[in-house]
Amino acid sequence: MDERQIIADFFRALFDTTLAVVLFILDVIGLLAVAVWVIDDLSEALVVGVFLAVILVASYLLFRKSRMQVARYEDSSPRIVYFDTQQAQMYHDSPVVSGKTPTYQILQVWFENKPRIRGTSSVGRNVTARVTLSDEHGSRLFDYHGQWAKSNAPDNVGFDDILDETDIPPSGLKAKLIIALKYPIDDECYAFSREALRSTVDGRSERFAIAPGTYKLKIRLAGIGVDREFAFTLENRGSGSPLMLQSIDPQM
């Protein structure tokens, strides 16, 4: 950490709270009292000055040590960032002919863990995703738990299963969150949720239907060492068109 920033933080901390301001004022009054009633010659003034300098420097060194420890902790903590959006056609085994037939398309949001310092405390653990869908004016429509893909292919949307929560290590591998599905012939798309997949045979739950239009979508990631929200614009252009998802996160 920059030494100048630590010094600035130190002096800012002296006036950070009402109590700190009151104590500072009392210290000034005490110093004035010492100067008026105690100090009689230059040697006493020098001794008092040195004593005050020692107190100030010792306080700064303690503050600096604490600030550096906090900085190291922050730098080694999980730092989940948005990486990319992926969309692909899914297939399943056909009961009629040999091979696979297309089903729905899925929309995934990929995240990566990029701490400034990698360590044992850098893993984001038990991370869940809460997805909130609102209309273009910001009125909430519904929310649901996004499902993490239990990946079988690091560089595409393939997966073996879905998970309610996942660990995200700082390994460079992407954590894939499935948020929507769409059949190409349909105008509507649907939120990809465990509830919808269990209550319908094909994921087309009317409770989670998303008509053609433009929406605001927020993803809140929460877990051990993780608490961050990401903002997107979701556009459903109807049948024959893929979904469009664009990040509007100001930190990206």
Distance CA 210, CA 92 (A): 24
Residue whose structure tokens are 């465990």: 194
The domain spans of the chain are 3-76, 80-247
Q: Is the pLDDT of residue 55 over 80?
A: no
Please give the full DSSP string across 62-111, using - where no structure is assigned.
HHHHHHHHHHHHHHHS--EEEEEEEEEEEEEE-SSSSSEEEEEEEEEEEE
Q: Judging by DSSP bridges, how do beta strands 140-145 and 124-135 pair with one another?
A: antiparallel
Q: In the structure, what pLDDT confidence band is assigned to residue 97 with cuts at 50, 70 and 90?
A: very low
pLDDT of residue 15: 67
According to the model, what pLDDT value does residue 145 have?
A: 95
pLDDT range class, residue 60, cuts 50, 70, 90: low
Which of 88, 83, 149, 158 shows the shortest CA–CA distance to 113?
83
Is 186 a residue whose pLDDT tops 90? Answer: yes
The architecture CATH gives domain 80-247: Distorted Sandwich (2.70)
At residue 22, the pLDDT reads 75
Q: Which pair of structure tokens corresponds to residue 3? A: 């030494």
